[in-house]
Amino acid sequence: MKAIVINGYGEPNVLTEQEVVIPTLKENEVLIEMYATSINPVDSNIRAGIVQDVFPVDEFPHILGLDVAGIIIDIGENVTQFERGDRVFGLAKGNSGSYAEYAIAEQALLAKIPPTVSFNEAAGLPAVSLTAWHTLFQYGKLQQGERILIHAGAGGVGHIAIQMAKLAGAYIITTASSRNHDFVKNLGADEIIDYNVVDFSETVKDVDIVFDAVVGLNQEKNIKVLKDGGRVVSIVTPNISDIAKEYNVDAQFVIVQPSRRELKQIADWVEDNKIKLHINRIFPFTEICVREAHNLIETKHTNGKLVVQIRS
């Protein structure tokens, strides 16, 4: 099968089209004929080799990619939740990435795609939606009426987090560049701060939760805007709890442990138009285009998601 692989760490030009063997099924897994996937920041971090302590690559060539969207063409002997022919979305198995014509996934990390949702839209949902879910609800314990500051509200995770927080009845403050103000307002943001012009820590106060989503952000500023008893949840700062100890603040780094139940709820929200994925661009499935997508996501200035269409 055709796949876009890396044969070593490096810049986006290490992404190479290559013929590889279709992966072998285990008893709780399904084989998916891929129709689309998406690009996540973690993909470029793994490719560059800067997160080897968290996401090591055991062997090369390695297929990157988390998000799967396609049709099940084979099932393991213990699979009971799905059948051949089901349209599904979810997360690829760790050693079987999604930048490929076929991918393996465990049945526990899949859900059926609603009939009204396209493969391209489904492909952009899993990683960002599950990250937003766990950050807001499992770690953040977001409650109705609470005030939350969501950094990078126009980004892949951020634009879904705003919509989920709005569903939960929260008051949402977000940071975004001026060109994305209308975008995040339409998603449900109540206050918008242009991070290029305004220091959020000088204008925001008394928030219950800070959603830390920007690498290198000054954590003292995040802590400064919290009300007494507030908390910080981070998807980018692994040592956030250590940093926060000296300020006597509750802070946690998010480790996503997804489930099919959560994916099913996300699918229901999308079907009911309560959450909508914004697709920034759709790329053809070629090494040149996947390299371009990696270059683009590394600018950290894309809104919504970058999708790769594998089949039409």
| Per-position DSSP letters for 76-95, written without gaps between them | -TT--S--TT-EEEEE--TT
pLDDT of residue 300: 87
In this structure, are residues 186 and 278 in contact, taking their beta carbons and an 8 Å threshold?
no
Greater confidence (121 vs 58) lies with 121
CA gap 208, 153 in Å, rounded: 17
Domain boundaries, the chain: 2-125+277-309, 128-253
Q: What is the pLDDT of residue 96?
A: 85
Quote the pLDDT of residue 152: 97
Split at pLDDT 50, 70, 90, the class of 94 is confident
Residue 95 in this model has a pLDDT that exceeds 80 = no
pLDDT at 80: 97
**DSSP code for 294:** H
What is the residue whose two structure tokens read 């051949």?
84
Closest by CA position to 65, among listed 27, 105, 31: 105
**Cβ-contact 38, 291 below 8 angstroms:** no
At 32 the pLDDT is 98
- Selected from 3.40.50.720, 3.40.1000.10, 3.30.420.40, 3.40.50.2300, the CATH number assigned to the domain covering 128-253 reads 3.40.50.720
Within 8 A by CB and 6+ apart from 296, the residues are 281, 302, 306
Q: Cα dist. 211→46, 99, 184, 207 in Å?
A: 23, 29, 15, 11
Average pLDDT value for the chain: 96
Give the percent of the chain with pLDDT over 70: 100
* C-alpha–C-alpha distance, residues 196 and 179, integer Å: 11
pLDDT at 159: 98
Q: What is the dihedral of CA 287, 290, 296, 299, to 10 degrees?
A: -90
For 117-138, write each residue's pLDDT tens digit.
Answer: 999 999 999 999 999 999 999 9
And the tokens for 44?
């470029």
Average pLDDT, stretch 207-212? 98
**pLDDT tens, position by position, 14-28:** 999 999 999 999 999
Question: Fold for domain 2-125+277-309?
Answer: Quinone Oxidoreductase; Chain A, domain 1 (3.90.180)
Global pTM value: 0.96
Distance CA 205, CA 189 (A): 16
**Measured between alpha carbons, how far is 99 from 87 in angstroms, rounded to an integer?**
18
Give the model confidence (pLDDT) of 248-288 as tens digits: 899 999 999 999 999 999 999 999 999 999 999 999 999 99
The predicted structure's pLDDT at residue 7: 97
